[in-house]
Amino acid sequence: MKLSSVDLTHLAGLAIGAATEAGEMIARSQPGEVRYKADGSSPASQVVTEVDRRSEAMIVDILGPTLTQYDLGLLTEEQADDGSRLRADHFWCVDPLDGTLAFIEGLPGFAVSIALVERNGTPRIGVVHDPVDQTLLHAISGVGAFRDRDPWPNDPPTGKVLSVFADRSFVSGSDHDTTMESLRKVAVDMGLTGVQLHATRGGVMNACGVLANPPACYIKYPGPSGGGSVWDFAATACLFHEAGAVATDIEGGALDLNREESTFMNHRGVLFATDQVLASRIRTLWEAVQG
């Protein structure tokens, strides 16, 4: 089913309502019992709480009628992939509580994330609600990106350092030292005073942190497994596209947001950056690592 601009606006409004309602519930909640998923590729992806499940139920209850009305598929983190994302022209992609580990620890860095994605992997709607400060970010393909419903500002970067956002696993990973040293050189070349690493947030808030702290980047190298899942990146990819920032795989190709073989993103990596010049420098670093 072809979606018009009116359809997208209507669906975005529903997604905003669902994310906001779920985010407000999360803000009032405590983690409670913590369970562990067998298919998680890292400690952050293995944990799940009853709040995750309640958030997902609230969101699916609000968006559920659109599955029939608009012939949409559905992919959510806490439900098995039913393959509808591969059959429908568009599908909802829901992360009901990204950054569960931060939520359990009482730290900021978690969010509700909802995207509408075309079957070809193009994100058409992206909605993120931050329960900590009650910030709402959303984007509609071809319409623009918004923060608390105001148009996304196009102010020039004012940061004096290169802000680097990364998953917790990066800190203890084998690539940490060489990557950070290379990024320090990039920062110097850009006339910046250094690099500041942020590594306590979930993937969604990592990407949002990039947009909020230019110049900045969020890097996930390709690997044999894991690498985050579609629901970690779909909504923020739409935000980045509409804000004029960069959301690609590590080599500059489009993010594979509807991979038939798996929902994981490890095969091509992920690169979020505030501008094309920074993204190009990071890709050069990756090419050097590959030899």
At residue 1, the pLDDT reads: 81
Three-state secondary structure call for residue 261: coil
Q: What is the pTM of this model?
A: 0.95
Strands (E) across the chain are located at 34-36, 47-49, 73-76, 90-98, 111-118, 123-130, 135-140, 144-147, 150-151, 162-165, 195-198, 216-220, 246-248, 270-273
At residue 65, the pLDDT reads: 98
Phi, psi of 211 (to 5 degrees): -60, -35
At residue 285, the pLDDT reads: 87
pLDDT by residue for the chain (291 residues), tens digit each?
Answer: 889 999 999 999 999 999 999 999 999 999 877 877 656 556 666 788 999 999 999 999 999 999 999 999 999 999 999 999 999 999 999 999 999 999 999 999 999 999 999 999 999 999 999 999 999 999 999 999 999 999 998 877 788 999 999 999 999 888 899 999 999 999 999 999 999 999 999 999 999 999 999 999 999 999 888 889 999 999 999 999 999 999 999 999 999 999 999 999 999 999 999 999 999 999 998 887 776
The per-residue DSSP string of 43-111 comes to: HHHHEEEHHHHHHHHHHHHHHHHHHHHTT-EEEETTS---SGGGTSSEEEEEEEEE-HHHHHHT-S--E
At residue 39, the pLDDT reads: 62
At residue 8, the pLDDT reads: 98
